[in-house]
Structure 1
Amino acid sequence: MTVHPDVLELISRLKAADEAFVLATVVRTVSVTAAKAGAKAVIRPDGTIVAGWIGGGCARGATLRAAHEALADGKSRLVSIQPEDLLAELGVKPDEDREGIKFAKNMCPSQGTMDIFIEPILPRPALLILGSSPVAEALVEEARPLGYHVTLAAPLAEFPTTPEADVLIDGFEIGPLTATRRFLVVSTQGKGDEAALRAALSIDAEYHGFVGSRRKMAALRQKLAAEGFDAAMLDRVKAPAGLDIGAITPEEIAMSILAEITARRRLGQRGESSLKNVAAASSHA
């Protein structure tokens, strides 16, 4: 089945804009069904099907429920919509999950079967880097191939060449941010530490890292706490940033930081043991 160009065009536009959506694809049909294998639909987070078609009301409810779940946990899933007698033959109940398949009951007169693959397309996680240090530059270079949307905020005149970040901000004043998972690193290393840290503390992020010694961070913490900054907020800043791998060069330090951030990003996707591994590797902080 040929995909309508409007669907492909919309997918491209939504990806470029870093907007979340679900791509639903009919992968199998049995007996009489309205949609055929290969049919696709683009579903927004509010449940609106904005392009394409995957059939009528028989498939819509189960598909939209699965799309909502997929956007919540970031995982793809297969939905099998079957008549009640076939579900009984398989020994499964509607809404039951078995071996990676979510089963749903087809209540339409057609009594056909449809298998629909639900794929969440999520915005790239955002990495905000404050500073013009060699580590900041290494973070920009290493983060983009890992799938991060990189914003670099620093006095741009301090760079010998223009860094290849997705967004460049001259200074530390970061404006409105998109709604996505966000990780932040202050890597000023002596050039505007306090100003960058002040800006960083005003930004909501899953991770705040400071490239610098514990002693330097302790001094900054004491000063900012005395000015009224929330102690719990200051305690969330990881200093020194990164896993303790004995890193020395800027590239190695950047790698250790991205490893720590990636562990946070993937937390829960590979089981509870991943949490223990992250905690053990970060125990030097």
Structure 2
Amino acid sequence: MPHQSDILDLMNDYKARGEAFALATVVRTVSVTAAKAGAKAVILADGTITDGWIGGGCARGAVLKAAREALSDGQSRLVSIQPEDQLSEHQVKPGELREGVLYASNHCPSQGTMDVFVEPVLPRPSLLICGASPVAVALADLARRMGFFITVCAPAADHESFGETDRLIDGYELPAGAGERDYVVIATQGRGDSAALKAAVRVPAKYLAFVGSRKKAAALKADLEQSGTPSAQIAAIHAPAGLDIGAITPDEIAFSIVAEMIEIRRRGQRTL
């Protein structure tokens, strides 16, 4: 079995690269099982176990399925793998979820029971903020407290306006590698609006918003259309940025934008 430190080092590597994975930990065993309590494994989104050990084929299928689902919806799972007779005794069926426990059948001759906690470890959502306006500064502060990885794209002379951020870039060009998992907000507010928006619209972001009036946004969209930007990309721009809560101050506008990003991020994750 790999050392605990090896698993932790691997987890830190994946976190540093922003790669999602699930950590499976055996929390209880009864009778004969290949893996014992405390055994761990790191599982990627495609079901690959990159390191660790959670037992053989008796447990592997159910745990890998739970890991894929956990990475899809962001929710942890407790999987209880039991022999058929014990499932019948508890009046549960394989695949049934009851009181937070997902049950699976153990068809191996050992007929042991194993409970495995599967926890998704997802990268922090990335927010790219273009500009150093009061809204940009307030947004960087609030979004970071909400768990976003903050990148500020603004002239170097304006960087001192910000508090704690994760990355600072000189100018309005988005960093290489920005893509469909990123949230992008143009908060230049009169300083480089067009240049920032033209750079941002080329990125297939999860969310692209422009801070400004409807009139200004319409003018900039018309300019994008004349420059040949596809209509689908223009239509994807949230303008004005944020939920319509009647926000006026920079802090209120930043709050409305963060609320809109959270709504998009969590969409479909909650069930009634």
Establish whether TM, by shorter chain, passes 0.5. yes
Query: Could you list the per-position Cα deviations for residues 146-183 of structure 1 after superposition, in whole angstroms to 9, with x for gaps in the alignment?
Result: 11111111222234456532122211222332677321
Query: Could you list the per-position Cα deviations for residues 201-246 of structure 1 after superposition, in whole angstroms to 9, with x for gaps in the alignment?
Result: 1111222111000000011111211222122221221111112333
More deviation in 179-188 or 248-257? 179-188
1:1-285 alignment, distance < 5 Å: 4-161=4-161, 164-177=164-177, 181-271=181-271
| Distance apart, 1:255 and its partner CA | 1.4
| Distance apart, 1:95 and its partner CA | 2.4
| Distance apart, 1:125 and its partner CA | 0.8
Query: Could you list the per-position Cα deviations for residues 5-35 of structure 1 after superposition, in whole angstroms to 9, with x for gaps in the alignment?
Result: 2112222332233221111011221111122
Residue identity in the other structure for 1:88: S
| Distance apart, 1:196 and its partner CA | 0.6
Query: How many residues of Structure 1 are paired with residues of Structure 2 in the alignment?
Result: 271
| Distance apart, 1:93 and its partner CA | 2.5
Measure the CA separation in 2 of the matches of 1:186 and 1:97: 44
Return the TM-score normalized by structure 2: 0.92
1:4 touches 1:52 (CA, 8 Å); kept in 2? no
Percent identity reads: 60
More deviation in 66-75 or 113-122? 66-75
RMSD of the alignment, in Å?
2.0
C-alpha change, 1:191 and 1:178, in structure 2 (3 Å) is closer
Return the TM-score normalized by structure 1: 0.88
Residue identity in the other structure for 2:201: L
Residue identity in the other structure for 2:51: A
Q: Report the 3-state secondary structure (helix = DSSP H, G, I; strand = E; otherwise coil) of the residue aligned with 1:261.
A: helix
Measure the CA separation in 2 of the matches of 1:128 and 1:72: 24
| Distance apart, 1:190 and its partner CA | 0.3
Q: Report the 3-state secondary structure (helix = DSSP H, G, I; strand = E; otherwise coil) of the residue aligned with 2:205.
A: coil
Query: Could you list the per-position Cα deviations for residues 105-146 of structure 1 after superposition, in whole angstroms to 9, with x for gaps in the alignment?
Result: 111111000111111101111111111211111111111121
2:180 touches 2:203 (CA, 8 Å); kept in 1? no
| Distance apart, 1:56 and its partner CA | 1.9
2:178 touches 2:203 (CA, 8 Å); kept in 1? no
Query: Could you list the per-position Cα deviations for residues 64-118 of structure 1 after superposition, in whole angstroms to 9, with x for gaps in the alignment?
Result: 1111111122111111111111122223332233333222111111100011111
More deviation in 183-192 or 66-75? 66-75
Residue identity in the other structure for 1:21: F
Measure the CA separation in 2 of the matches of 1:127 and 1:160: 19
Residue identity in the other structure for 2:157: A
Residue identity in the other structure for 1:6: D
1:26 touches 1:54 (CA, 8 Å); kept in 2? yes
Measure the CA separation in 2 of the matches of 1:179 and 1:20: 16
Measure the CA separation in 2 of the matches of 1:105 and 1:68: 18
Measure the CA separation in 2 of the matches of 1:178 and 1:201: 11
More deviation in 112-121 or 258-267? 258-267
Residue identity in the other structure for 1:74: G
Measure the CA separation in 2 of the matches of 1:73 and 1:251: 31
**Structure 1 regions of 5+ residues with no counterpart?**
273-285
Measure the CA separation in 1 of the matches of 2:129 and 2:178: 16
Q: Report the 3-state secondary structure (helix = DSSP H, G, I; strand = E; otherwise coil) of the residue aligned with 1:174.
A: coil
**Structure 2 regions of 5+ residues with no counterpart?**
none
Query: Could you list the per-position Cα deviations for residues 246-285 of structure 1 after superposition, in whole angstroms to 9, with x for gaps in the alignment?
Result: 323222211121111111111122247xxxxxxxxxxxxx
1:124 touches 1:180 (CA, 8 Å); kept in 2? no
| Distance apart, 1:44 and its partner CA | 2.0
2:129 touches 2:152 (CA, 8 Å); kept in 1? yes
Residue identity in the other structure for 2:92: V
Measure the CA separation in 2 of the matches of 1:43 and 1:95: 20
Residue identity in the other structure for 1:37: A
Residue identity in the other structure for 1:40: K
Measure the CA separation in 2 of the matches of 1:43 and 1:102: 18
| Distance apart, 1:36 and its partner CA | 1.8
